[in-house]
Amino acid sequence: MTSTTPAPARSPGRGAPRAGRLPWVLVVPALLGLVFLVLPLAGLLLRAPWATLPQRLAEPQVLEALRLSLVTATVATAVCLLLGVPLAWLLARASFPGLRVVRALVTVPLVLPPVVGGVALLLVLGRRGLVGQWLEAAFGVTLPFTTAGVVVAEAFVAMPFLVISVEGALRAADMRFEEAAATLGASRWTVFRRVTLPLVMPGVVAGAVLCWARALGEFGATITFAGNFPGRTQTMPLAVYLALETEPEAAIVLSLVLLAVSVIILASLRDRWVNSP
């Protein structure tokens, strides 16, 4: 009869780190980073004029800036959906020389300083711009320093968020459903409308929400291309900038509104980010 002895337990001091134990060399910088990100937001909440908040939110200039921001951000998102979804499909499904260059150009507004984007829009769509002078001469359309100019500026900086989200959803979608629909005789437009679009709809919704939030918070391109005219081009971020010089408490109130919108957006997309593979 042979005796078997249990194998000695492996010492937890070597190999994989013990479960539940975190290295302090990572914990300390992580906590400092958390404080660095949260402390300014906490300062905004602590310095907010809570006692007079309802009255300040009801002021005409605040309501006008909020209304204009909501309208222009929504219209800009609609423009991005109309142009960005087909562009994302082209980047995800087409193959042609220079595809990588096109994809890089689409994402340039993500890293381009917004003020530079505003200057570029002026050079192209301004009254003496490459396209702007033709628009004014042929149709009498002038975009700079108008509400339409706000929409153009916001769409320019926000569209990459939508394109990246939809392109990722298209690449992750199972193409066998589209192939099956095509085999059954569906046209390409029918396949896209009845099969592809429903498959990637979560990505479209997430991209549209991010696009809307980015458009709502746009500042640099808007003030450069559209100016800062109350009731016409003064959105919430521009109103914050103007109020900071004359009435800091009003700037805090406006900032709280934008902060609340940002928190709502992040909360609505949390499940998608957490559950994504």
Tens-digit pLDDT profile for residues 190-234: 988 889 899 999 999 999 999 999 999 999 999 999 999 988 999
Q: What pLDDT does residue 271 have?
A: 61
Q: Give residue 151's Cα distance to chain centre.
A: 15
In tens, the pLDDT along 149-188 reads 999 999 999 999 999 999 999 998 888 888 898 888 888 8
Q: Which token pair is 209?
A: 């929400």
pLDDT of residue 1: 47
33-90 confidence digits (pLDDT tens): 999 999 988 988 888 888 888 888 888 888 899 899 999 999 999 999 999 999 999 9
If one counts every other C-beta atom within 10 angstroms of the C-beta of residue 229, the result is 13
184 or 3, higher pLDDT: 184
The CATH homologous superfamily for domain 58-275 is: MetI-like (1.10.3720.10)
Q: Write down the pLDDT at residue 127.
A: 87
**Per-domain residue ranges for the chain?**
58-275
- Which residues are CB-contacts of 147 (< 8 A; sequence separation ≥ 6)? 68, 72, 226, 232, 233
Q: Could you tell me the pLDDT band of residue 235, with boundaries at 50, 70 and 90?
A: very high
User: CA 181: distance to chain centroid?
Assistant: 33
Q: Would you tell me how many other CB atoms lie within 10 Å of the CB of residue 33?
A: 10
Residue 211 in contact with residue 269, Cβ under 8 Å?
Answer: no
What distance separates the 2 farthest-apart alpha carbons in the chain? 103
